[in-house]
Structure formats: C-alpha cells, structure tokens
Amino acid sequence: MRDDVLLDDEFEALLVYLRDQRGADFTGYKRPSLTRLVHRRMRTAGVDTYADYVDLLQVEPSELSALLDVLLINVTAVFRDPGAWAELAESLLPEALSRLDPTEPIRVWSAACATGEEAYSLAMLLHSLLGDEAYRRRVKIYATDIDERALAVARLGRYSAEALEGLSPAQRDTYFEADGTMLRFRADLRTSIIFGRHDLLQDAPISRVVLLSCRNVLMYFTAETQTRVLERFAFALHEHGVLLLGKAEMLLTQSQLFTPVNLPQRIFRPRPRAGAGRLAALAVGGQGRDATLRRAAEAAFVAAPAAQVVLDSGGTVVLLNARAQRDLRLTPEDVGRQFGDLQLSQRPLELRGSVAAVQASGQAVELRDVAWAPTQGEAGRWDIRIAPLTVNDEAQGVHLVFEDISDRHELRQRLGQLDGELTTAYEELQSSSEELETTNEELQSAVEELETTNEELQSTNEELETMNEELQSTNEELQTLNDELRDRTLEVDRVNGFLHGILAGLELAVVVVDTDYRVQLWNGGAERLTGLRSFEAEGRRLLELDLHLPSEQVRAVLRAVVVDAARPGPVDIALVDRFGRAQSRRLTVTPLQRSGGAVQGAVVTLADTPSAPDARTEAVDRTA
C-alpha cells in the first residue's frame, strides 16, 4: 500500500460515507487506532486508496460487516479485571445498595456489553449480594451495545466452558446449566437482563442507574467524544451510583462531574449537582458585597422556578419568592411573621419540628414525595428541602425550597408501569420464543420422520417396481400359454367334431359308460335303435334304461369287462320287441382304457342281427 496516497481528508470522507450512507458513525473514534484497523481491512481486500475502498464498500455488502467486525472489537470476559469486581462486591456495591430504599428498583447499565459476559457477571454479583427474592423483585440490568451480532450472542447467554474459565466451579454450577457441549445462563435469572442496541454517541442514556459499567470502549473515542459520553453518564447515574470504567481508561475530561473512589480500579462516583438551595445560599452570602451582585442574587431568588422561603435564626420569615406566593398561598404580609404562626408550618406536615432540627444540627433535611394540595384542587407531590444558611460558618437562618414534582411523580409512576409492561412483554416474548424453538424442534423431528418414511416408501416403490416387472414377464408367459391352450382347444374341438361326426354317421349303436355304468356317450345309432335321445340317456345308469334287453345278461357282460378286465366276444341276444316280433341283437362290450392300461369304463355297441328268432350264440370269453 502506498502511504503517500492515504491522505487524511480521504480518510475523513470514508468515515463520513460510513456514517451517512451506512449508519455506522466512527467520526468520534481516535484516528490512530481507527486508521490502523481500516488499513488492515484494506490490505486484506487488496485495495490501495480510501476512495477505492469506498467503491468496494458500495458494491460488496460482506466487506462492510468484515470492516465492522474489525472496528467494533468485541473482546470481553466474565469478571474481567477481577480486582475491580472484588472492590465492587466487598464494599462499593453493598454501600450503594444500602442507601436505596429497600423497595426501590436497582437499575444497572452494562454499556458496550459486547457478547454479554459483563452483563451476566453483574447478574451473578447482584444475585449473590441480594439473594434470590430481592434479585428477582428489584434488579434490572440494561445491557447495550452498538453491534447487533454481538448482542445476538449475548441474548442466548450460551458460552463454551473455556469462555467461562473466569468463574469458580461454584459460580458455574449455580448460574449455568449444561446445554449440549455448551453452558447456558439460568433462564429464571436471565429475565432480569434486557439486551438492546444502543449507540453511546447517538442514543439517550438510561436513567437512574445505580451501577454503570462502561469498560474498554471510551478508550477508542476522541477526547471530545469522551466528554459528550461522560456528560450523559453523569445524567444517567443515581446520586448514590457508581461508575466503572476499563482498566486502561482515564477520566481525562469531565473530572468535575466525577470523583474517584478507587482510582487504580477506575471506579468513580458522580459529584453532587448544584441545586436551588446552593444558589439561594450564595445569594444570601452576597449581602455586603457590591450592590449589583446582591440585586442580581435577589432577582434570581425572586424569579426562581421553585417556591422558596428564608427564615432568620429566630424563625422569622425574612424572604419569600414569587413562586412561594403563588404555590404556597403566602403574601408579602407574611414576611416578618414567625414561621410557626403560618399554616404552612403545620401542613402538609409538621414542618416546625424539621426546621428546628435543621437549626439545631446544621444538617439539611429532605422530605421527598410529600402528597399535598396547598391551593384548592387536586393534591400534588412535593419535594421539600430544608437547609441551614451559614455565612462565614455562622448560622444565619434556614432556607426552605418547595419543589412541585407532581409531573415527575406521575411520569415516574407511568415509567414504573411501562417498565412492568415491558418486563411482561419481554417475558411473554421470551416464552413465545421458547415455544417457537420447541415447535421448531418438533417440526424438525417431524421432517426427519417424514424423510425416513419417504425413504422407506421409495424403497417399497422400488420393490413394487421389480415385482411389477416380474409380474409383467409372468403375464407374458401366461399369455403365450393361453395362446397355446387356445390352439389346443381349437384342435381338440376340431377332433371332437370329427369324432362326433363319425359316431353320428355310424349305423351301429355306440354307447360309452364309466365304471359305474353311467352313460357318457350316446350316439345317433343308439337313439335310432332304442328310441331314447342322447340327453335322456347321458348321465344315467345304462341298466336303468329301457333297452328291451335282458338286464342280467348285459350286467354280466359289463362286469366281465369293467370289473374282471376280461374281453368277452360279441353276444347275440334274442328278444321280443314291443310289437311281439322276435328280434336278435349283437352286443359287443370292449374296455375303455387309459394310456396306462387302467379300465375307466366300457364301449358298448349294439346292432340288429338277421338271425332266426331262437338262434343264439353263446358268449365266448376269450380270457377263459
């Protein structure tokens, strides 16, 4: 990189670009460290000039986040700089807390908290000092940073064991719970910590904080910027509050706003602010000085925005201002009267006693948040301060200031209410967020289950596809078989037709019976010879049919063939027909055999023979 081209005004132009176009204001940061860090980024990005770097930032969104990563150094740790934390735990914090009303909220601000370790350290410290009940009821820790990504880490409260090495084993066990390989801050104590984005240079400070920790960030700011930030801190701190800075930071500016409590540990307190009582005392002390100053002091006293009354050492009213006449219903005639004679001394409360106590002790007394309606109408809220007036260490009288804080009271109440609503909303948000996380996890596991089911379905589908292919090939084989069968059937039909034709054409009566002598076939010759139609004969026993033959003789021949497997020759049977004529018929029975030789019935043929009425040929059994 050529240093000669790195001109300051180009660098300032880069800062202005970052502030105006990208909302990241580094104009209040110290230049030496800032330029060093920007140079580091430019070297990595391979850019030589600031102008080129601005061009790169314009076209490359990831470069801005890389630059912010470098500039907003997020380094932090739990209980970083243990000496400061020990000082807080042992004396400063218990003392500051003891000055608060036990019902008062304890507001703490961890400014520039980075990834949150400091905020959780504050939570652990306050929890150990206050105990569980008071911590939950009173503590609110506002933890802010400019860097949203650091805040996202902080909000989780989830750290590695190495990141929590600064904790004792007892602290780790008490305040963190295992979460996978990490440790997570206890959810029930986490609700007291509110994380939010806050720019120390732009945003209004958080108010009434008892402990303000702003460490290791002021050192990056110019002296002028530090002044601005410290003024805001002075405003933010409770009057008994404590300011904790980083080990390497000094209060170079604004030392009139803070006083060191422990300089080596960089712990400070706000100096008391000048109030109305102080100015009034100054005005009284001005008596005897030059007339101009006295008149100015009197004019300021008269015009002061709070009602004021001055008593001399004998308790006589010596001064009233305009607001006292308006707000307290006093009149110029009351000047010169004894304070004890005024109605004001008894109402809103017994003020005479407080005035006497101040006169006796020389110590100021403050009566806060007194409900009172000095004029007709609604009761308001008042702060009353009674302070001794001394000139050259000599008691001169008493100064009473009545400040109407009704608006502030209402605002405070509203603020408390809003604070409560905010906490509730925050808690609801957190529980919704947890529910969402649970739902998300459930959805994820449902998705995983669906994925598994899908894979199973896919493999079933593949199996079905294979089966389908097999079935298709079986189907094709069956079709071939079917075609063959059809051909055979046609062939059989043809042969059948052929045989039927032969049988029908025969003059001879042909009958086929099974082994029960049931008729299986009855041809045309049999119909003609017996007068019985085939449908009348087929299926019936042959011997039950009216054949006009001696049935015993026929049975004997049939049995010889079917049962005895004999082969009797033709038998001529003489008979007389229904017209009384002598007839002769030749009966031939041959076995019907399967291919293996087993007898499955018999083939019976009958034919008329032309022999004489008594002529008869005895059956010849060839097997005999």
The interface region with ligand SAM, picked from 124-132, 209-217, 405-413, 452-460 by CB under 6 A, is: 209-217
Put the strands of the sheet holding 106-111 in their side by side order.
193-197, 139-145, 106-111, 209-214, 237-245, 267-270, 258-262
Q: Which residues of 312-327 are buried (b: 16+ CB within 10 A; e: fewer)?
A: eeebbbbbbbebbeeb
Q: Are 607 and 571 in contact (CB under 8 A)?
A: no
327 makes contact with ligand SAM (CB under 6 A): no
Cβ proximity to ligand SAM, 248 vs 464, nearer residue: 248
244 makes contact with ligand SAM (CB under 6 A): no
Q: Which residue in 27, 35, 49, 74 binds ligand SAM (CB under 6 A)?
A: 74
Long-range contacts of 464-472 (CB under 8 A, 24+ apart): none
Helix (H, G, I), strand (E, B) or coil at 313: coil
Cβ proximity to ligand SAM, 81 vs 538, nearer residue: 81
Q: Which residue in 18, 42, 97, 114 binds ligand SAM (CB under 6 A)?
A: 114
Q: 532: phi > 0 → left, psi -120 to 50 → alpha, else beta; which?
A: beta
Q: Nearest to ligand SAM by Cβ — which residue?
A: 76
Is the dihedral angle over the CA atoms 164, 168, 174, 175 positive or is it negative? negative
Q: Are 142 and 194 in contact (CB under 8 A)?
A: yes
The interface region with ligand SAM, picked from 130-138, 198-206, 274-282, 308-316 by CB under 6 A, is: 198-206
Q: Which residue in 63, 147, 327, 404 binds ligand SAM (CB under 6 A)?
A: 147
151 makes contact with ligand SAM (CB under 6 A): no
73 makes contact with ligand SAM (CB under 6 A): yes
Q: Are 367 and 384 in contact (CB under 8 A)?
A: yes
**In the numeric block, which tokens belong to residue 237?**
């701190």
80 makes contact with ligand SAM (CB under 6 A): yes
CA 23/CA 20 separation, integer angstroms: 6
Shortest distance, CB of residue 197 to ligand SAM, whole angstroms? 8
Shortest distance, CB of residue 247 to ligand SAM, whole angstroms? 9
Residues contacting residue 621 through CB under 8 Å, at least 6 positions apart = 560, 566, 568, 569
Cβ proximity to ligand SAM, 233 vs 339, nearer residue: 233
Cβ proximity to ligand SAM, 150 vs 606, nearer residue: 150
The mark string for 216-235 relative to ligand SAM (x by CB under 6 A, - otherwise) is xx------------------
CA 200/CA 194 separation, integer angstroms: 17
Q: Which residue in 116, 246, 277, 286 binds ligand SAM (CB under 6 A)?
A: 246
CA 233/CA 213 separation, integer angstroms: 10
280 makes contact with ligand SAM (CB under 6 A): no
Question: Beta strand 509-513 with 158-159: parallel, antiparallel or unpaired?
Answer: unpaired
SS (HEC) of 218-282: HHHECHHHHHHHHHHHHHHEEEEEEEEECCCCCCCCCCCCEEEEECCCCEEEECCCCCHHHHHHH
Q: Which residue in 42, 63, 67, 76 binds ligand SAM (CB under 6 A)?
A: 76
153 makes contact with ligand SAM (CB under 6 A): no
Q: Are 147 and 114 in contact (CB under 8 A)?
A: yes
Q: Which residue in 63, 87, 118, 334 binds ligand SAM (CB under 6 A)?
A: 118
Q: Which residue in 14, 93, 112, 351 binds ligand SAM (CB under 6 A)?
A: 112
Shortest distance, CB of residue 245 to ligand SAM, whole angstroms? 9
Compute how many residues bind ligand SAM; rule: CB under 6 A: 21
The interface region with ligand SAM, picked from 37-45, 50-58, 214-222, 340-348 by CB under 6 A, is: 214-222
Shortest distance, CB of residue 103 to ligand SAM, whole angstroms? 30
Shortest distance, CB of residue 229 to ligand SAM, whole angstroms? 8
Which positions from 15 through 54 interact with ligand SAM, judged by CB under 6 A? none
Burial (0-12, 13-18, 19+ Cβ within 10 Å), 56: middle
Binding residues for ligand SAM (CB under 6 A)? 72-76, 80, 112-114, 118, 145-147, 150, 199-201, 215-217, 246
